[in-house]
Amino acid sequence: MIIELKDVKKEYVAGGEKIEALKGVNISINRGDFVAITGSSGSGKTTLLSIMGCMETATEGDVRIGNRDVDTYSDREKSLLRANYISFVFQNFALMDKYTAYENIELPLLNAGVKRRERKKRIHWAAEQLGIKDQLEKRPREMSGGQQQRVAIARALASSPQVILADEPTGALDVDNTKKIMEILTDINKCGTAVVVVTHEKEVAAYAKRTIRMEDGCIV
Amino acid sequence: MIKIFILNILRNRVRTLIVLGFSFFSFLTCFYFATNIINNYLQVGQLGAYFGESSSDLYVLKEIYVEDDASAGEDINYTKETIKSHKDILAGGFEQTDAGIDELSVDWRDNYNFIFTDPEYLDIIGFSVSGAELLPFVLDGVTYLPAFVSGKYKDIFEKDQIYTIDRTGAKIIIKGTIENEKWLDGFLDGKTRVVDINDSILVSFPDVDKTDNMTQLSTTGCYYIKGNVDASLVEEIEKTGDERNIKYVLDNVGEIIREQEARDKDTAGFQIKLAITVLICSALTEIAIILAFIFLGQEEFGIKMAFGNSKKQIIAFTITEYLSIMGLAFILSFITENKLISNEQEYMRAPLKSTFYHWATPLVLCIVILTTICISIPSIIYIKKYNPCEMMRDVT
């Protein structure tokens, strides 16, 4: 079991009003899983993803990552989980504009303490997998949306994570690029990495082995 | 980690340069004012210590008008002899000048620094050598002037050896050495410094100098009178001046020092206010610039957190980054101020450098740390409040 959530609740206070984003969610992500989380806007799917990635903490319930309760992880350990156990792919690519593609891919490897030579090897391997080897010295603004998302996926892939959490990874892409990106994620999944994709597109969800639908903070 | 840190500084070079520029300017202002203020304070203190408790009943004789330069030597000496004739008065002056030594100087450029003084002057200031030790003596019809050499000349002049001053032909005999002694640098006025005399020969005036025009004109302003200086003595001095067409004034040393202290205090007050204003303005500008850049690049925090940085690490990076920029600004301002002091006149250089290294630098270093803390706090608060999930919510 890579990630396991049991009866997880999440509450926010916004504008003095209490909002229940998750109302007792149960989900488990296993090795080799390809899960699509679908649902309308505000259904809680992104909150669920951020709790899975230790970016947020649950108000109630158990969250276990790597068979260990996340509450027992220190902040540094949670950061290290995000550096080499869990990786993210975001809709807006989340690339740092001032850094080259190479340096963007390098970020989690630096944080994981990977040595220089090994970093270089892994970056080139990931770039080759994604077909962006000739783009490594470019900055994000010099690339197309599809290329930027490939760099983002290469960054997620380079640290050899157990799971990739992708939040609307094709939301900013055209049909052609959507297809290519989903094929890349499918290939990654075939190599054993679990993939969790948050999406509201049926075509994207169709690539997943399992689809979870969310409505009003609950899995339906 | 070091790579991320260096990349961050380089990739944010506009912000780095602006902050560096403001910091450099404000630290240089602090260096400049701190060096001057502390130096003035220390030097007035040294002046007080140099004259000791006697400064309140100590007066300095200054000539403000001389009608006949040709007879000025004899005329001024006439006044001095009149003053010395008072048994309850201790009076003496000095002159600092270069002179050659017949036995040592190869050519006219080969000069030595001399302090010619009235022996009584040493008793006024409480020097390590007493006035009596400097009194001339006659042997076989020749007058010898006992002399004392300081540090730099110790190995050049031999004890009990006789040397001849080329300008006057006066014979000096080395009686000993003086170590770490202070002397007044020239006339006593608002700019007077107490300096180390590590390269001087201390000797009494040769007879010929007592009526020499240049020497005597040089000593007024450095001629001190201690004791019962009452109205009758002042009147008597003025009378000797009137007889020889010289106009004298007598100033109280204690008052001169107090006036200097007051002037320095006023200047210091203004400079401190100016330095604080510059410092606060530049710190506020830096905070505004840094926050603007943080706000514009806030997504970067989210990305860094999503890929393995903790908030603590990002805060540590931020502080280290500011500390590096401030450190660089400190080094640049240190080098600039050092250069500025090197361009000062020679007599000012040593005390200014000493104050700069021993006082201004630690003080400005404290200001650097304080400024770094001040400009870091708003950034730290902002980063602490930042929720990396904002990055995800923006787009879904």
The per-residue pLDDT for range B218-273, each reduced to its tens digit, is 887 888 998 888 888 888 888 888 888 888 888 888 888 888 889 989 999 999 99
Share of chain B above pLDDT 70, in %: 97
Q: Show residues of chain A in contact with B394, CB under 8 Å.
A: 92
User: Token digits for A143?
Assistant: 């690339």
pLDDT of res. A155: 93
Share of chain B above pLDDT 90, in %: 35
Q: Show residues of chain A in contact with B392, CB under 8 Å.
A: 46, 49-50, 55, 90, 167
| C-alpha closest to that of A27 among A181, A194, A167, A153 | A194
Lowest mean pLDDT across A69-83, A137-151, B69-83: B69-83
pLDDT of res. B230: 83
* Beta-carbon contacts of residue B135 (< 8 Å; ≥ 6 apart): B119, B146, B204
Place of tokens 């080759």: A128
Lowest mean pLDDT across B64-73, B161-170, B342-351: B64-73
pLDDT of res. B318: 84
Number of helices followed by number of strands (H, E) in chain B:
12, 12
pLDDT (tens digit per residue) in B38-95: 988 888 888 888 887 777 788 988 877 777 777 888 888 888 888 888 888 889 999 9
Which residues of chain A have a Cβ shorter than 8 Å from any chain B Cβ? 41, 45-47, 49-50, 53, 55-56, 75-76, 78-80, 82-84, 87-88, 90-92, 94-96, 98-99, 103, 107-108, 110-112, 155, 167-168, 171, 198
User: Token digits for B250?
Assistant: 């007598």
Task: Provide the residue type at B121 as one letter.
Answer: Y
Q: What is the tally of structural domains in chain A?
A: 1
Quote the CA–CA distance of B97 and B114 in Å, as a whole number.
Answer: 5
> Is the pLDDT score of B2 beyond 90?
no
> Is the pLDDT score of A39 beyond 80?
yes
Instruction: List the beta strands (DSSP E) in chain B.
Output: 58-66, 89-100, 111-117, 137-139, 142-150, 162-164, 171-178, 182-185, 193-196, 201-204, 223-227, 246-252
DSSP SS3 for B297: coil
CATH number for the domain including A64? 3.40.50.300
Interface test with B, best of A19, A22, A47, A107 (most B CBs within 10 A): A107
pLDDT (tens digit per residue) in A109-124: 988 889 999 999 999 9
pLDDT band of A213, cuts 50, 70, 90: very high
Q: Is the CB of A168 less than 8 angstroms away from the CB of B302? A: no
Q: Show residues of chain B in contact with A38, CB under 8 Å.
A: none
| C-alpha closest to that of B192 among B393, B332, B301, B50 | B50
How is B116-157 classified by DSSP, letter by letter? EE-HHHHHHHT-SS-GGGG--EEETTEEEEEEEEEGGGTTTS
Quote the CA–CA distance of B170 and B173 in Å, as a whole number.
Answer: 10
Q: What torsion, rounded to 10 degrees, do the Cα atoms A93, A98, A100, A101 define?
A: -10
State mean pLDDT over B356-369: 94
- Regarding predicted confidence, which is higher, A147 or B4? A147
Q: Is the CB of B396 less than 8 angstroms away from the CB of A76? A: no
Q: Is B205 exposed, middle or buried (0-12, 13-18, 19+ CB in 10 A)?
A: buried
| Domain span holding position A141 | 3-219
Helices (H), B297-310: 298-306
pLDDT (tens digit per residue) in B270-325: 999 999 999 999 999 988 988 888 888 788 888 988 998 888 888 888 888 888 89
pLDDT of res. A63: 94
* Beta-carbon contacts of residue B70 (< 8 Å; ≥ 6 apart): B213
Task: Find the distance separating the first CA and the last CA of chain B, reported in whole Å.
Answer: 31
Place of tokens 């969790």: A196
> Is the pLDDT score of B396 beyond 50?
no
Enter the ipTM.
0.88
pLDDT band of B384, cuts 50, 70, 90: confident
A70: which DSSP letter? Answer: G
B304 at A interface, C-beta within 8 A: yes
DSSP SS3 for A209: coil
Within 13 Å, how many C-alpha atoms sit on residue B30's CB side? 28
> Is the pLDDT score of A82 beyond 60?
yes
The number of beta carbons lying within 10 Å of the beta carbon of residue B150 is 21
Quote the CA–CA distance of B300 and B302 in Å, as a whole number.
Answer: 5
Q: What are the angstrom distances between the C-alpha of B128 and each of A8, B181, B205, B293, B297?
A: 87, 8, 19, 64, 68
CA angle B268, B270, B361 (to 5 degrees): 50
pLDDT band of B1, cuts 50, 70, 90: low
SS3 sequence of B204-218: ECCHHHHHCHHHHHH
How is B359-378 classified by DSSP, letter by letter? IIHHHHHHHHHHHHHHHHHH
Q: For residue A168, give the nearest of B7, B300, B396 by CB distance.
A: B396
Handedness of CA B71, B73, B79, B81 (dihedral sign): negative
B396 at A interface, C-beta within 8 A: yes
pLDDT band of A154, cuts 50, 70, 90: very high
Q: Is the CB of B310 less than 8 angstroms away from the CB of A76? A: yes
Q: Is the CB of A96 less than 8 angstroms away from the CB of B312? A: no
> Is the pLDDT score of B212 beyond 90?
no
pLDDT band of B392, cuts 50, 70, 90: low
pLDDT of res. A27: 93
B300 at A interface, C-beta within 8 A: yes
* Beta-carbon contacts of residue B19 (< 8 Å; ≥ 6 apart): B286, B289, B290, B322, B325, B329, B375
pLDDT of res. B117: 93
Mean per-residue pLDDT over chain A, rounded: 91
pLDDT of res. B395: 42
pLDDT of res. B391: 65
Q: For residue A90, give the nearest of B304, B305, B395 by CB distance.
A: B395
Residue of B nearest to A166 (CA): B392
> Is the pLDDT score of B144 beyond 80?
yes
Q: For residue A112, give the nearest of B4, B308, B395 by CB distance.
A: B308
pLDDT of res. B342: 93
